[in-house]
């Protein structure tokens, strides 16, 4: 007995279903290609945000006169902000060379929002300022100050950690990697618009 022929309505339904499946597959492939181009977020290190770096520090930061973040050394820092780094990334921070174990101080009063110990930044501290407009990032630490915890309020100049070489810092070059990010409305500690700390510290 022969196979029954498809009527016009059934044939039209099959064609439409095939077109819908093709469109869905194309959408998935497009999303995959776009996802491969996005930066990968690493726990413990702020990702490079889509916003451009601040051309100059905002006036409200300038007027605060931030504390120099490393105690016991001359107030000297090289402007390495926006220098190229491996992997086609930019250095949205400054590096302050100091003897291992030098005290690291909070540059401003605020709140410790995150303590991390993995990724490129190694042992790190994220601090929001009192108005939660900026995040201060202290990385490559040897360790935290005794008892430091997330949610703790800190004063300007309070010791929060010690200079080290954790993360991807060279073992023979202890330093503090210090960054400032302007937070967006979502106030996420791992992302924001980079602000050059150099004019605020030298």
User: How much of the chain exceeds pLDDT 70, in percent?
Assistant: 66
Phi, psi (degrees; rounded to nearest 5) at 124: -140, 160
pLDDT tens-place string over residues 59-68? 889 898 899 9
For 84-145, the DSSP string reads: EETTTEEE-SEEEE--TTPEEE-SSSEEEEEEE--STT-EEEEEEETTSSEEEEEEEEEEEP
Q: What pLDDT is recorded for position 76?
A: 77
Residue 130's pLDDT band (cuts 50, 70, 90): very high
pLDDT tens-place string over residues 145-185? 999 999 999 999 999 999 999 998 999 999 999 999 999 98
Q: What pLDDT is recorded for position 46?
A: 44
């Amino acid at each position: 007995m022969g196979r029954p022929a498809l009527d016009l309505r059934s044939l039209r339904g099959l064609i439409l279903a095939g077109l819908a499946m093709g469109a869905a597959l194309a959408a998935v492939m497009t999303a995959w290609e776009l996802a491969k181009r996005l930066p990968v977020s690493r726990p413990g290190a702020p990702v490079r945000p889509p916003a451009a770096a601040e051309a100059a520090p905002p006036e409200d930061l300038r007027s605060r006169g931030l504390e120099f973040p490393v105690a016991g050394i001359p107030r000297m820092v090289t402007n390495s902000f926006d220098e190229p780094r491996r992997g086609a990334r930019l250095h949205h921070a400054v590096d302050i060379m100091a003897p291992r174990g030098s005290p690291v101080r909070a540059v401003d009063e605020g709140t410790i929002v995150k303590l991390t110990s993995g990724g490129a930044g190694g042992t790190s501290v994220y601090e929001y300022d009192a108005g939660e407009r900026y995040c201060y990032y202290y990385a490559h630490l040897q360790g935290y100050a005794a008892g430091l915890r997330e949610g703790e309020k800190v004063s300007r100049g309070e010791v929060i950690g010690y200079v080290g070489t954790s993360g991807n810092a060279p073992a023979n070059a202890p330093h503090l990697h210090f960054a400032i990010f302007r937070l967006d409305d979502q106030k996420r500690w791992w992302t924001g618009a980079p602000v050059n700390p150099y004019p605020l510290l030298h």
